[in-house]
């Protein structure tokens, strides 16, 4: 049951896309253009099966058996769609993300009456009434994979992605990787404290991109999102304060008041970004107190190991790679590849000026993203997103015995099952650029 602040309001599920500067491109604008599936589907397995059957195109489900009144969408958050919506080139977007990291701004707090996310509040808090999907039979159950957690404790705010396994109508078990929110939760647990949080689904894409960033030192990701909002839209990011004191983006599909408790439970198994099954662990329990949502809410039901998962993992790492490479050579684009699950492998586009610039770029890229296992460096005429063109560059511009760097005993990624028991791995860098100063014509394609 719902308390509806705006009874009788009917919000359309499709919107005109605004692809020119100065206009906000929100979550629902990204939904626009999705194929609408109005056939009855279940939260258990059906949506992923239908997505795969249709070639994983953007798809909106409007008739979900277990969740009347709620829709679900997937496959909308891709590099190409984001660049088209923001009206920027991929390399430009990477630079804007990097700029926002260095120039965080303040969001603007608005009254509750103006916040779309507070249009409705469930009288009985029940996660089972939301179209949280069970995508893979190998998973432990229904998972929130695209919801972000906004936490505040002892004056520090963190906004980040953490998968949550639904345990009951008002509880989940959250996988906290060893980053800032884990530290925050551990500090609270030592004091027998709970951490007040908001779980947000379907905010503006700038919030999703900021939440997917990771930093060596704590940085308020919501302020990074505010900077992106100002840079891309020319306006302030609007937030609203919930009853538990947490501020959330006012234009979101769902905002859920909750607490990270001192209790733990089993989380997993879970099909992770590499398509392999992650382990079962004891992780913190989250208890939910209130669920707010927009009229006609649309739940973002990201498919793990799918294109959106790779976009959110890879795109926010591209700025750190590009920044590192740009210190040694002109870098024009970076792409975390699908085959590397948006995390373990990248293609870096440079403009070499001196012999050896390709090798310098390889070393800098690996330093810019230490989880990465492979780097391929190409010239500006090679589309970094086109795997066939990248392979073509390898076959026509790369000599394995002289243009390859192999490093042993390097820090590996926990996502790589082939790493050593101590967590180390070997890494490879491939220079597929043309040496500067030579005749380029034999290396250039007319196709």
Identify whether the C-beta of residue 419 lies closer than 8 Å to the C-beta of residue 372: no
Q: Point out the catalytic residue in the list 46, 139, 272, 357.
A: 272
* Alpha carbons 340 and 337: distance in angstroms, whole number: 5
Tokens of 331: 């870098």
* Alpha carbons 36 and 73: distance in angstroms, whole number: 9
User: 193 catalytic, yes or no?
Assistant: no
> What amino acid positions are annotated as catalytic residues?
272
């Amino acid at each position: 049951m719902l308390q509806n602040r705006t009874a009788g309001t009917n919000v359309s599920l499709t919107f005109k896309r605004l692809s020119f500067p100065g206009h906000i491109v929100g979550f629902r604008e990204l939904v626009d253009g999705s194929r609408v599936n109005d056939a009855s589907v279940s939260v258990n397995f059906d949506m992923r099966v239908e997505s795969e059957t249709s070639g994983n195109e953007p798809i909106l489900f409007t008739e979900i058996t277990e969740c009347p009144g709620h829709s679900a969408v997937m496959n909308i958050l891709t590099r190409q769609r984001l660049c088209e919506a923001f009206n920027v080139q991929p390399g430009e977007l990477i630079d804007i993300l990097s700029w926002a990291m260095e120039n965080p701004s303040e969001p603007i707090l608005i009254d509750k009456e103006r916040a779309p996310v507070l249009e409705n509040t469930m009288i009985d808090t029940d996660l089972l009434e939301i179209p949280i999907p069970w995508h893979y039979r190998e998973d432990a159950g229904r998972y929130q994979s695209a919801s972000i957690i906004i936490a505040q404790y002892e004056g520090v705010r963190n906004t980040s992605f953490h998968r949550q396994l639904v345990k009951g109508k008002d509880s989940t078990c959250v996988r906290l990787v060893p980053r800032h929110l884990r530290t925050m939760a551990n500090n609270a647990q030592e004091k027998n404290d709970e951490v007040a949080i908001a779980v947000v689904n379907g905010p503006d894409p700038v919030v999703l991109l900021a939440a997917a960033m990771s930093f060596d030192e704590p940085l308020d990701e919501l302020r990074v999102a505010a900077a992106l909002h100002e840079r891309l839209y020319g306006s302030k990011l609007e937030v609203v304060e919930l009853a538990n004191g947490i501020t959330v983006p006012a234009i979101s599909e769902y905002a859920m008041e909750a607490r990270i408790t001192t209790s733990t439970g089993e989380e997993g198994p879970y099909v992770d970004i590499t398509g392999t099954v992650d382990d079962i662990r004891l992780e913190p329990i989250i208890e939910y107190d209130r669920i707010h949502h927009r009229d006609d809410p649309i739940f973002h039901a990201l498919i793990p190991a799918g294109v959106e998962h790779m976009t959110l993992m890879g795109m926010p790492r591209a700025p750190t790679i590009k920044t590192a490479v740009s210190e040694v050579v002109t870098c024009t684009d970076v792409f975390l590849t699908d085959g590397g699950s948006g995390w373990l492998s990248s293609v870096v586009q440079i403009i070499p000026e001196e012999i050896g610039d390709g090798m310098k770029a390889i070393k800098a890229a690996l330093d810019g993203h230490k989880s990465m296992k492979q780097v391929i460096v190409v010239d500006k005429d090679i589309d970094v997103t086109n795997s066939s063109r990248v392979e073509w560059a390898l076959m026509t511009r790369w000599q394995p015995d002289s243009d390859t760097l192999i490093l042993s005993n390097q820090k590996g990624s926990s996502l790589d099952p082939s790493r050593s028991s101590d967590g180390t791995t070997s890494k490879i860098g491939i220079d597929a650029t043309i040496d500067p100063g030579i005749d380029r014509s034999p290396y250039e394609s007319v196709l």
